Copies of this chain bind each other. A is one copy, B any other.
Amino acid sequence: MNWEDLARELAYTTDSKIVLLVCDGLGGLPVNGKTELETARTPNLDEVARLGVCGLTDPVFMGITPGSGPAHLGLFGYDPLEYQLGRGILEALGSGVEVGRDDVVTRGNFATFKDGLVIDRRAGRIPTEENERLCAILNASLPKQDGVEIQLTPGKEHRFVARFRAQGLSDALSDADPQKDNKPRVPAKATAPEAERTAAIINRFLDDLTALLKNEPKANTALLRGFSKFPSIPQMAELFKIRPAAIANYPMYKGLAKLLGMDVLKVGADPADLFDALEREYAGHDFFYIHYKPTDAAGEDGNFEKKVAAIEAVDKFVPRLLALKPDVLVITSDHSTPAFLGGHSWHPNPFVLVSKNAQPDGVRAFTEIECSKGMLGRFRSLYAMPLMLAHALKLKKYGA
């Protein structure tokens, strides 16, 4: 019996409310002796640390650097070693492509085809504007296939997302990609009989695209990789008996939330909009996931000062969370993004949980080291959800 089985057995609906603020990439590493969190002035986060019980979380396990998908899955109570989201679906979500249960999505590259060979799998990294122009042409001009809707969404440079919408599609397909330059084009192949029709649709699409673009100097064909359907993953409402809402202003996180059955609330682009939405919609749900991106963005840029500023900026919103008096408030991150490394890392996440049913543990600052002294110790992010539900009195006793 694992956590998922236990959740199905023990979770039940109550009026209590849980607020989970994810400051993306919050944890860091010292530069001049102090981490971003240690450098930032964070009177409100420190107050939360004093009010709550603290710890450090590992998103997957010690030493593993997670992508955003696995890192969030863990926080939402799904074992990221069990649920793996395909590259196509994540790329689609990250590009803001709406994915339904009948769709197959895939990553695409524009490529250069000459004398029967793919001579450049990235079409010389054409400018993004070129990519946008080509996707517009293709969306307007691709020959119709019966009962099939195809939509291309441009990404950066030569990258795009293709969405195929039709009844009965399957993602049991090999990549339509020769993997190396100077090889012939490769069709998608069905790896299971039920995908034969999908393969035919996709290969017809690739031929149509290649015909339409035959006079383009560089981007005159395309490769497709990572075919994915909407993953079949238990919904949060069903597993945890909650009515979850997602408050995020980046497509990737909205898409992830949608995969898990959260209501994705309408939010503007400004961080303040997150907290406005929470206050506005507070009555209608009992679990709120708020995603704050600037901490991660600054870390990815390797910009220590900008990350410090992003932390100080989110700190100012914290009193608004406390003012709502949720039964459980958790502030943490999905993974660390030290500016020192300029990318996601394996370092653990500061974690604080405030609840009248929790014991404050004497931690007085919301930093990596101080959280490591908290009563929650160091634990997998997977246990964040049982802890939140438990402190909100949403879990029954296990056994008699």
Q: A residues bordering B, Cβ < 8 Å? A: 1-3, 6, 10, 29-30, 35, 56, 60-70, 80-82, 84-85, 87, 90-91, 94, 340-341, 343-348, 357-362, 368-369, 372-379, 383, 385-391, 395-400
Contact = CB atoms under 8 A, between A and B. Distances in A.
Nearest to A379: B62
Contacts of A389: 63
Nearest to A347: B359
11 contacts: A62-B383, A63-B386, A64-B398, A67-B397, A67-B398, A70-B399, A85-B399, A345-B390, A346-B386, A368-B375, A378-B379
Given A2-B81, A346-B390, A395-B65, A373 B376 contact: no
Contacts of A60: 6, 398
Q: Which of A360, A386, A388, A399 counts the most chain B CB atoms within 10 A?
A: A399
Contacts of A395: 63-65, 346
Contact of A383 (B61, B66, B368, B386): B61
A216 B378 CA distance: 60
B84 A399 contact: yes
A6 B60 CA distance: 11
Given A68-B400, A359-B368, 18 more contacts: A3-B61, A29-B357, A29-B358, A30-B359, A35-B359, A56-B375, A56-B377, A61-B383, A63-B383, A63-B387, A65-B390, A65-B396, A67-B400, A90-B400, A345-B390, A348-B375, A377-B378, A378-B378
Contacts of A343: 397
Given A1-B81, A62-B387, A395-B346, A30 B360 contact: yes
A364 to B, nearest CB: 13
Nearest to A73: B399
Contacts of A399: 66-67, 69-70, 80, 84-85, 90
Nearest to A346: B390
Q: Which of A389, A391, A397 counts the most chain B CB atoms within 10 A?
A: A397
Contacts of A61: 3, 383, 386
A399 B68 CA distance: 8
Given A62-B379, A372-B377, A377-B377, A70 B398 contact: yes
Contact of A87 (B80, B347, B374, B400): B400
Nearest to A64: B398
A344 B400 CA distance: 11
Contacts of A390: 62-65, 345-346
The 7 closest A-B CB pairs, nearest first, are: A63-B386, A377-B378, A63-B390, A67-B399, A70-B399, A62-B383, A67-B400
A56 B60 CA distance: 19
Nearest to A377: B378
Contact of A344 (B64, B359, B397): B397
A87 B80 CA distance: 33
A348 to B, nearest CB: 7
Contacts of A377: 56, 372, 377-378
Nearest to A361: B369
A19 to B, nearest CB: 17
Given A1-B81, A80-B399, A387-B63, A357 B378 contact: no
